[in-house]
Amino acid sequence: MMLEIQDLHVSYGAIRALKGVSCHVEQGEIVALIGANGAGKTTTLRTISGLIRPQSGAIIYKGQDITKLPPHQIVNLGLSQVPEGRRVFTRMTVLENLEMGAYVRNDKANIKQDIKKVFERFPRLEERKGQLAGTLSGGEQQMLAMGRALMSKPTLMLLDEPSMGLAPMLVQEIFNIIKEINQSGTTILLVEQNAHMALSIANRAYVLETGEVVLSGDAQDLANDPQVKKAYLGE
């Protein structure tokens, strides 16, 4: 087991955002978290990556309790996050954004090789490597955010709403890339509003409602579940 979340409780002031969330991710999987806005999906990811401190519960990554570690130490352990809304460094070039993704590393020759690999995976980024990130399209910024996360050489990647604001054709392209990243050895925990797409590529999934896991199981089984169809798939 790569990641285990045990009975996680998180509050924003008086608002209880997570009420005892438990889930796990095994090596090599794509696991999806689906649910409506405000269900606690992003809060779960931000808590795993150390950006939010839970009131109680534990986060175990590769057998180590990381619940109280600061974010940069968590990145060092091989866990990176592609945040909701991309959050690229808009006033830096594409290349500089990728170099920032490798800030925890000091193996310069390998960093150059990994930038080359990112450009092979995202040819459009190579064409725009000297361009300011803020001038890229939404789809290109999403590719850059994913490329930047790959530069820390993660074994587990947390993806938060990768399809948000993208045209349908680009959504398909981004999800194909997510599958490729997974097939090349990176385990993925995916938060996604587009439940159809998430369940189509995931091995397993969890359904969150108001801070609690209400359903979990094989992704295809959930895609065929009448409750999930009605609430999240518009069927």
| Domains, the chain, ordered by start | 1-78+155-167+186-234 (3.40.50.300), 85-153 (no CATH)
Question: pLDDT at position 21, please?
Answer: 97
Question: pLDDT at position 33, please?
Answer: 96
- Average pLDDT of the residues in 108-124: 88
135-183: pLDDT as tens digits: 998 888 888 998 999 998 899 999 999 888 888 888 888 899 899 999 9
Q: Is the pLDDT of residue 105 over 90?
A: no
Rounded percentage of the chain residues whose pLDDT exceeds 90:
60
Instruction: Let me know: does 23 contact 47? Beta carbons within 8 Å.
Output: no
Output the 3-class SS for 54-105.
Answer: CCEEEEEECCEECCCCCHHHHHHCCEEEECCCCCCCCCCEHHHHHHHHCCCC
Label residue 33 left, alpha or beta by phi (over 0 means left) and psi (-120 to 50 means alpha).
beta
200-219: pLDDT as tens digits: 999 999 999 999 999 999 99
DSSP reduced 3-state for 17: strand
Burial 77-89 (b: 16+ CB within 10 A, else e): bbbbbbbbebebe
Tell me, what DSSP letter sits at residue 126? Answer: H
Q: Is the pLDDT of residue 90 over 90?
A: no
Distances (CA, A) of 108 to 91, 97, 111, 119, 174: 23, 15, 5, 17, 28
Question: pLDDT at position 137, please?
Answer: 87
Q: What are phi and psi of 93, to 5 degrees?
A: -75, 170
Q: Is the pLDDT of residue 223 over 80?
A: yes
pTM, two decimals, is 0.90
Q: What is the mean pLDDT of the chain?
A: 91
Separation of alpha carbons 120 and 107, rounded Å: 20
Separation of alpha carbons 60 and 44, rounded Å: 13
- Average pLDDT of the residues in 72-79: 91
Residue 235 pLDDT class (50, 70, 90 cuts): low
Q: Is the pLDDT of residue 191 over 90?
A: yes
Nearest partner of 182 among 30, 49, 25, judged by Cα: 30
Number of Cα atoms under 13 Å in the Cβ half of residue 16: 11
State which of 67-76, 81-90, 100-109 shows the largest mean pLDDT: 67-76
